[in-house]
Amino acid sequence: MLKLEGVNAAYGQSQVLWDVHLEVRDAEAVTLIGRNGVGKTTLLRAITGLHPITSGQVRLNGEHVQQDPAYARARSGLAYVPQGRGLFPHLTVHENLLMGLPALNGRPNARHDLPELIYDLFPILHDMAGRKAGNLSGGQQQQVAIGRALVTQPRYLLLDEPTEGIQPSIVQEIEAALTRIRRELRVAVLLVEQYLDFAWAFADRYYVMQKGRVVETGLTAETPTRDVQRYLGV
Ligand SMILES: Nc1ncnc2c1ncn2[C@@H]1O[C@H](COP(=O)(O)OP(=O)(O)OP(=O)(O)O)[C@@H](O)[C@H]1O
């Protein structure tokens, strides 16, 4: 389980996360929603170790990891796909996927059928393997970014607005791949998302953030999207 308890974080003097409690159980899909600027990205970065927390706890499978650097958390099973995807545009699709491999150093039981597994999940990438990532469409780039995260063989996959700027047919492909990632690879997913229909179709549970705090949580199956729409203000 990934568990956050009483997490606070700031940029300089400006506090942006307030006493955040959140958990993602094994192989669970959880979505985190809220308006722009409420702190969702900061929370993902705090979980991965890319942004320091000022107090609170981040636990991964019971172990406290809040003092661990980002690379150590990656080795402990956390993978992060940032908003904007963070690809290397001048490297090929295949080279981008291989960038995930160093996270496997020193890991016993690492799979060696990578990135074939990724090409199986996202067949279009197989045809594009030699193309420069910067020349791909937004949806294809998102698939590369998710694929690169999977190369690290995570237990927990954190995704920041994967559908942003992507056409609906590709969103469906991404949803189908994420569902397989959960079911077949047993990877838990924490999804930051503004596109509620997608988030609700995919996730079991949701958290809502407002001004740096978690203000509501529940089961997506028991909560119509219209009940949480007001938190997005659209
Ligand atoms: N590097 C930074 N330095 C200072 N303040 C920042 C920095 N990054 C974000 N902030 C501020 O922290 C707050 C939370 O931002 P954050 O990006 O985490 O929100 P978000 O919910 O992910 O929004 P978005 O969907 O727009 O990315 C905002 O008020 C933002 O202006």
Q: Does any domain span residue 99?
A: no
Q: Could you tell me the residue range of the domain that residue 43 belongs to?
A: 2-85+154-231
Give the CATH number of the domain where residue 53 resides. Answer: 3.40.50.300
Percent of the chain with pLDDT over 70: 94
Rounded CA separation 233/160 (Å): 19
Q: List b or e across 41-53, with b for residues whose CB sees 16 or more CB atoms inside 10 angstroms.
A: bbbbbbbbbebeb
Task: Write the residue with the smallest CA distance to atom 5 of ligand 1.
Answer: 11
Q: Decide: helix, strand or coil at residue 195.
A: coil
Segment 120-144 mean pLDDT? 91
pLDDT in tens, 98-126: 887 767 766 666 666 666 788 888 888 99
pLDDT category at 22 given cuts 50, 70, 90 is: very high
| Residue 62 belongs to a domain | yes
Residue range 46-75, pLDDT digits in tens = 999 999 999 999 999 999 999 999 999 998
Long-range contacts (CB closer than 8 Å, 24 or more residues apart) made by 87-90: 87/133, 87/134, 87/141, 87/144, 87/145, 87/148, 88/133, 89/132, 89/133, 89/134, 90/132, 90/133, 90/134
Say how many Å lie between the CA of residue 46 and the centre of ligand 1.
12
Tell which atom from ligand 1 comes closest to the C-alpha of 34. Answer: 21
Q: By percentage, how much of the chain surpasses pLDDT 90? A: 70
Compute the distance between CA of residue 196 and CA of residue 229 in angstroms, rounded to an integer. 8
Looking at the structure of the chain, the number of domains it has is 1
Which residues form the pocket of ligand 1, taking CB atoms under 6 Å from any ligand atom?
11, 16, 34, 36-42, 83
Nearest atom of ligand 1 to the alpha carbon of 41: 22
Residue nearest to atom 2 of ligand 1 (CA): 11
What are the pLDDT digits (tens) for 206-230? 999 999 999 999 999 999 999 999 8
The verdict on residue 139 lying in a domain is no
- 172 CA to middle of ligand 1, Å? 28
Q: Is residue 112 part of a domain?
A: no
DSSP, res 132: B
User: Does a structural domain hold residue 190?
Assistant: yes
Answer whether residue 57 is part of any domain.
yes
The ipTM value here is 0.94
- Ligand 1 centroid distance, CA of 145 (Å): 21
Query: What is the rounded distance in angstroms from the CA atom of residue 108 to the CA atom of residue 80?
Result: 21
Distance of CA 143 to the CA centre of its chain: 13
Atom number in ligand 1 closest to CA 35: 21
Give the single-character DSSP code of 49.
T
* CA-closest residue to ligand 1 atom 25: 36
134 is a domain residue: no
39 Cα to the center of ligand 1, angstroms: 6
- The pLDDT tens digits for 147-164 are 999 988 899 999 999 998
- Whether residue 147 is contained in a domain is answered as no
